[in-house]
Structure 1
Amino acid sequence: MSEELLVNVTPTETRVAVVENGMLQEVYIERSASKGIVGNIYKGKVVRVLPGMQAAFVEIGLERTSFIHASDISVIDKEGVEQRNAEVADIRSLVWEGQSLIVQVVKDPIGTKGARLTTQLSVPSRYLVFMPQTQHIGISQRIDDEIERARLKELVERCSAADPSYSKSGFILRTAAEGVGEDELMADIKYFQRLWSALERKMKERPAPSVIYEDLPLYMRTMRDLVRPDMEKIRIDSKESFHNVLQFAEDYIPELKNRIEYYPGERPIFDLYAVEDEIQKALGRKVPLKSGGYLIIDQTEAMTTIDVNTGGFVGHRNLEETIFKTNLEAATSLARQLKVRNLGGIIIIDFIDMQDIEHRRQVHRTLEKAMEHDYTKTVISGVSELGLVEMTRKRTRESLEHIMCEECPVCEARGSIKTSETICYEIFREILREARAYDNDKLMVLASQSVVDRLLDEESASVADLEEFVGKSIQFQVESVYNQGQFDVILL
């Protein structure tokens, strides 16, 4: 498996693409005007407590107030260690209005919702995640070798025991820690020691609301979080960013230093790998399959639905085999689409109905296997009574569509608009209202070209009847700036 990381940096936007065997798998976008804030730590101020929701609104200096649930608020004992209880305490016993609170963002503001917060703080490095208030050592589930898991846990315990200040703290070993030695882990722990001392000073000195800790810029975060030992190349089209990444590699991942390249080509790096085309395709509803079938992906605020269709695929043997092959291909394709589009929350997949129970099991297994390569947490249910597969995918940032697109001002995100015939009848009803309310001789209708054309052609007889009925003359004027659904009836 050949995997490459492409980094496109401009003054206004940074984009990172993960390409596997020449095919785009993931894309990350960070714009200077709207940077993601997941992982940032703030000193916030509680502005409202909502007992009925077991939650509170916290002001951290963003456009919208942020949200914290009682289950995300740590209870700290006298020793300064987090106490975890199965039962969630009453929000009123945890926070109060006007209180200063140290919080961390776990979900970016999405749509009309503010950022989601927690007081369970953590700070990542290359190999470890440091949890200053939790006495726990965890290991990434992606490290599945039990001997390696035991070795890493014993190493971290030994390294942290060397410094008494870590007796109340905990660590999570990241996937990148697999195979590393004591020196690398000790370097990370010393880095945390310096960083956390600086953060504690800021927590005491700075007023609320203010930023305490900001995560690295996107191109540096990807080096820390996405780069794996088997990654073939990391190509960067900005000389300044290239040197920064090279320095980062020297400090943390020297074995990958020779795989980092500066791309100076005239042709944009995303065009060279057809990433630009793939991004444009990922903004559409329809995803063609190689067999001739296709997916229809609809993203709404409540959930994302994926419908599988055979399309032009007729198969070679029988209908059940055709359906089975289409569903297998769809399962692999939609797993990639979820990553590229960064779709999260509840996802409902409507595979084509299969009569064979073994076929259903194989399609379900194919989907699970395809999702194993997804670093975002997913939970997949079995096939429901209605033949649907339900799944959830953790949502921490905006989807690709929400980053790059906005609501259509014409259809207002409904996906359809009223026909010109419907608008004509609405105009007739408005004319009747105006005629009854005001005593004048003439009315003027302002509308789009398509609506005025219909009023003067197919509906001309209806207009004549209406003029006779209200006893007023009706004139029409095209307004080029009006969309099909807009109109005005004014008195002359």
Structure 2
Amino acid sequence: MKRICLSVERDESILAVMNNGQLEELLIENALEEDLVGRIYKGVVKNLLPSVNGIFIDIGIGQNAFLRTKDLLPGEAMPTEGSTMLVQVVKEGTALKGPLVTAQINLSGTYAVAVAGQPYIGVSKKIQDEKIRNTLRQTAEKYTKSCFGLIIRTAAEKVESKIFEKDIEQLAHDWNILQNRYGVEKAPALLWRDSDLVVKALRYFANSDTDVVLTNDKKTYDRLCLLNEDGIFIKAEQIQLMQEGSLLKIEHIEEQIQQLLERRVELKSGGFIVIDYTEALTVIDVNSGGFQGRGIPHEELAYLINKEATKEIARQIKLRSIGGMILIDFIDMKGRRQKEKLLQILREEAKKDREKVVVCGITDLGLVEMTRKRTGRKLENFYYDVCPLCDGTGRSYSPKAVLRNIYRELRYLQKRGLSDNVEISCHPDVAAILRKKEEQKYLSQICTKNVIIKENNQVHRDVYSILTADE
């Protein structure tokens, strides 16, 4: 039972695909924070960097984008500084680095993708019927031009020829608009942005398996009906407007999103996985937990837990939008065949992901290496800010550690004869310890006269000051 839910609020839109009550796909748009991935710009070449095989390009966002020379169009000459280029964002930037762009532009349709370059027509390998492949290719040839080619998606195999041709025609129209805007707009300029969630709901997810498309917003409902004119995606009555109650609560989406933000993920068997993010990569650890496998040999027990964890890991990676390098520490297994089975399951599950996933294999240390194409932001970045107390490390100074620093400084002042009439301003947690009897006794040994303890209003525990009578 597949249900597509589109929740639209003032500053956030959520597209969730539910399959038999379980969250299968999740896309989020924040009205206050722009998603650059997929956008196409007319940029200005600022710097050529032969040493790193790259080019800095100004796309008008206040931070130069980076283009790798290998992402230029095949046969394209190296641009010169000050020249303009058509580029598309493939990876979001960070606080320190600008977004990654490519000159190999593509526009996605429902049944095909238009790609910049030669008028090449490719057909998905999953379409194996040669007659269908030839028919699709002949239809596409009518619209390909010298400046772009087409890659036909698997979804085109069972669609009516009229609907397929309409999709190709729309892609050709969009491509012409893009080229025309490139000719008239002054660089740097945004020329094209990726489809919003309303379009994606129908284009990427609505099909014959869909039971209903639900939304809580009247304007969104009207747009869905307009885009689905003549039942191009699903039957008209399958698009419904929910006017009462919270769509996310009623469909149990909210609670599943909350679970995706947890570090620990429980498995039905009693085992669990732990997901940790670092600057360089994501680490996933599999644990047996409370799994009860009486009478089952250790090797078989480990395989059963790992097998269950593998499917959940692939799902978590997709829903959390985890990209880059990923290391998985499965429960140790000695059998080579079982390890190969596990890798095969992981590769099969990865095929369900819309982004490119590569399962590399097992390292000498027994860790599974894989990568996933990094595009938009991770799920947690929509909901969390970096903690101002620990700067994202998950740790802060203990009061005892700060206390040792204070005592060290007081002993230094004592040696200089400046330990009389001291005022210590520190965090409330540290001040509470300093006021204890045993600490007061120790303070009296270091400071010969009055010691005043004041609480500061600092968030960080390690911020304190010591003032002497001379100051």
Contact 1:106–1:117, Cα closer than 8 Å, also in 2: yes
Distance 1:193 1:359 in 2: 49
Q: Specify the alignment match of 1:466 in structure 2.
A: 446
Q: Normalising by structure 2, what TM-score?
A: 0.92
CA shift for structure 1 position 236? 1.0
| Structure-2 change in CA distance of 1:26 and 1:162 (3 Å) | closer
Inter-partner Cα distance in structure 1 for 2:61 and 2:410: 47
CA–CA distance in structure 2, aligned partners of residues 68 and 251 of structure 1: 42
- 1:432-472 Cα shifts (integer Å, max 9, x gaps): 5667789684332222222112222253344233324xxx6
Distance 2:200 2:409 in 1: 57
Which residue identity lines up with residue 105 of structure 2 in the other structure? L
Shift of 1:378: 0.8
Which residue type is aligned with residue 346 of structure 1?
M
Aligned to 1:154: 134
Q: Is 1:204–2:183 an aligned residue pair?
A: yes
Q: Quick check: 1:488 aligned with 2:465?
A: yes
Letter in 1 for 2:128: E
**Distance change (3 Å), C-alpha of 1:466 and 1:132:** same
Counterparts in 2 of 1:417 and 1:403: CA distance versus 1, 3 Å: same
Instruction: Quote the offset at 1:423 in angstroms.
Output: 1.1
Call closer, same or farther: CA 1:52–1:430 in 2, change over 3 Å: farther
Residue 77 of structure 2 is aligned to residue 98 of structure 1: no
Secondary structure of the residue that 2:158 maps to in structure 1? coil
Task: Tell me the alpha carbon deviations over residues 227-259 of structure 1, each in whole angstroms, 9 at most, x when there is no partner.
Answer: 333222211111110110111111672444332
8 A contact 2:65–2:101 mirrored in 1: yes
Give distance in 1, aligned partners of 2:175 and 2:270: 55
What amino acid maps onto 1:134 in structure 2?
Q
Aligned partner (choices 187, 190, 194) of residue 215 of structure 1: 194
Where does residue 182 of structure 1 map in the other structure? 161
Q: In structure 2, do the counterparts of structure 1 residues 265 and 443 end up closer, same or farther at CA, with 3 Å as the change threshold?
A: same
Mapped contact 1:308–1:351 kept (Cα < 8 A): yes
Question: SS where residue 110 of structure 2 aligns?
Answer: coil
Looking at structure 1, the residues matched to 230 and 411 of structure 2 have their Cα atoms a distance apart, in angstroms, of 77
Displacement of 1:57 in angstroms is 1.6
User: What are the equivalent positions in structure 2 for 1:191-340 lying under 5 Å apart?
Assistant: 191-250=170-229, 253-266=232-245, 268-317=246-295, 318-340=297-319
- TM-score normalised by structure 1 residue count: 0.88
Partner SS state of residue 71, structure 1: helix
Q: Could you say what secondary structure the match of 2:43 adopts?
A: strand
Q: CA 1:383–1:441 in structure 2 vs 1: closer, same or farther (change >3 Å)?
A: same
Partner of 2:114: 130
Displacement after TM superposition at 1:118 (Å):
0.9
Look up the match of 2:123. 139
Answer whether contact 1:161 1:167 (CA < 8 A) is retained.
no
Judged with a 3 Å threshold, the aligned counterparts in structure 2 of structure 1 residues 190 and 432 are, in CA distance, closer, same or farther, namely same
Which segment is superposed worse, 282-291 or 190-199? 190-199
CA drift at 1:110: 4.3
Q: Identity rate of aligned residues, in percent?
A: 30
Aligned-partner Cα distance in 2 for 1:197–1:250 = 24
Structure 1 residues 337-346 or 310-319, which shifts more?
A: 310-319
User: Structure 1: how far apart are the matches of 2:453 and 2:239?
Assistant: 65
Write the mapping of 1:290-439 to structure 2, written as runs, cut at 5 A: 290-317=268-295, 318-432=297-411
The one-letter code sitting in structure 2 at the alignment partner of 1:292 is G
The count of residues paired between Structure 1 and Structure 2 equals: 467
* Contact kept? 1:110, 1:397, Cα under 8 Å: no
Paired residues of 1:106 and 1:118 also in contact (CA < 8 A): yes
Give SS of 2:118's match: coil
CA contact (8 A) 2:414 2:447 kept: no
Find the aligned partners of 1:408 and 1:384 in 2 and give their Cα distance.
Answer: 34
Whether the aligned pair in 1 keeps the contact of 2:198 and 2:223 (CA below 8 Å) is no
Please, which runs of 5 or more residues in structure 1 have no aligned partner?
A: 76-82, 85-92
Residue 264 (structure 1) shift = 1.5
- Tell me if the contact between 1:242 and 1:262 (Cα under 8 Å) persists in the aligned partners: yes
Aligned letter for 1:57?
F
Amino acid at match of 2:80: W
Q: Deviations over 1:408-427 (max 9, x none)?
A: 11111111222211111122
Q: Distance in 1 between matches of 2:216 and 2:363?
A: 47
Distance in 2 between residues matched to 1:355 and 1:179, nearest whole Å: 45
1:7 maps to: 6
Give unpaired runs (5+ residues) of structure 2: none
Give the Cα separation in 2 of the matches to 1:337 and 1:21: 17
CA–CA distance in structure 2, aligned partners of residues 122 and 101 of structure 1? 15
Contact 1:126–1:252 under 8 Å retained in 2: no
* Deviation sequence 1:147-200 (CA, Å, 0-9, x none): 1xx34542344234445x724531011232121243223222332333333222
